[in-house]
Amino acid sequence: MKSYKPTSPSRRSMTNVDYGKLSRVKPKKSLTMRISSRGGRNSQGRITVRHQGGGNKKLYRIIDFKQNQIGKKLVVETLEYDPYRTAFIALVRQEDGTKRYILAPEKLVIGTELLVAETAPLTVGNRMKLRNIPVGYQVHNVEMVPGKGGQLARSAGSYVEILANADGYTDLRLGSGEVRRVPWEGLASIGQVSNAEWNLVTIGKAGRSRWLGIRPTVRGKAMNPVDHPYGGGEGSQPRGTRKPKDIWGNITGGRKTRNKKKRSSKLIVKRRK
């Protein structure tokens, strides 16, 4: 982590990730695209996600989550920052010369050779089928449906642990503590996703939140009764309602929100705590 000298009240507690190990290059133009900012609004112009808007301009990097070129070697050319995700990304070159972005695992260095195969050496960054990965190994970018591309463990510092391989399924322990079963023909990459210190960042000042596209959030207890279930009272008051509610009065805590008829529920071996 990178800290700063206390030259101002905001600098005093501000921290950031050290980007010194990343390559000082511009993103590959053919693998980027511009996504227009909607500020949390839908096609009718109504705000459907609050507290979003503004922020610096960003280019979206097209990431290859599938990495399904079986038997091909990849060479890591650069390690780069991605403004649309918490993890770092790596630009890799295939044997035929084509390049693509992948999620960079922890401890990956430039010049490393990676292999995508049904069975590969158990080194960081290699990708293979789940049934060939021994119990106890940490993996990321895991496919829930073979061929669809990685969906599990894609954010900074995340990983899932292999618990068992049997009867066409692999049991995985997720970061939440949930134990989930997925088809063992799916692909997974060895190792933990990079930038594990990301959750230790201290933003430090309101302006930095605005740079990130985060608009201010007003506390419900600071509002009037007409505006929020927590509003009203003289000075600072407790919630005043038995159950936590959102601005529209919907109960937000202590209520299961997962659809009881969801077909994939049968693949959940153990629910998270």
User: Cα–Cα distance between 80 and 83 in angstroms, integer?
Assistant: 10
159-173 pLDDT per residue, tens: 999 999 999 999 999
177-203 pLDDT per residue, tens: 999 999 999 999 999 999 999 999 999
Q: Tell me the mean pLDDT in the region 38-43.
A: 95
| Burial (0-12, 13-18, 19+ Cβ within 10 Å), 104 | buried
The pLDDT score that the predictor gives to residue 43 is 95
Q: Which pLDDT band, with edges at 50, 70 and 90, does 80 fall under?
A: very high
| Average pLDDT score, the chain | 95
Can you say whether the dihedral through the CA atoms of 208, 210, 215, 221 is positive or negative? positive
Share of the chain above pLDDT 70, in %: 100
With beta carbons less than 8 A apart as the criterion, state whether 130 and 170 touch. Answer: yes
- Cα–Cα separations (whole angstroms), residue 269 to 133, 194, 197: 20, 28, 30
The pLDDT score that the predictor gives to residue 273 is 83
216-232 pLDDT per residue, tens: 999 999 999 999 999 99
Q: Residue 55 phi/psi, 5° resolution? A: 90, 165
Q: Tell me the mean pLDDT in the region 239-252.
A: 92
| Burial (0-12, 13-18, 19+ Cβ within 10 Å), 230 | buried
pLDDT above 90 for 257 = no
Q: Which CATH architecture has domain 18-198?
A: Beta Barrel (2.40)
The pLDDT score that the predictor gives to residue 137 is 96
Q: Which pLDDT band, with edges at 50, 70 and 90, does 256 fall under?
A: confident
- Cα–Cα separations (whole angstroms), residue 260 to 15, 84, 263, 266, 273: 42, 32, 9, 10, 18
Task: Return the domain boundaries, the chain.
Answer: 18-198, 218-273
Fold of the 218-273 domain: Ribosomal protein L2; domain 3 (4.10.950)
What pTM, to 2 d.p., does this model score? 0.90
Q: Which pLDDT band, with edges at 50, 70 and 90, does 211 fall under?
A: very high
The pLDDT score that the predictor gives to residue 109 is 95
Share of the chain above pLDDT 90, in %: 91
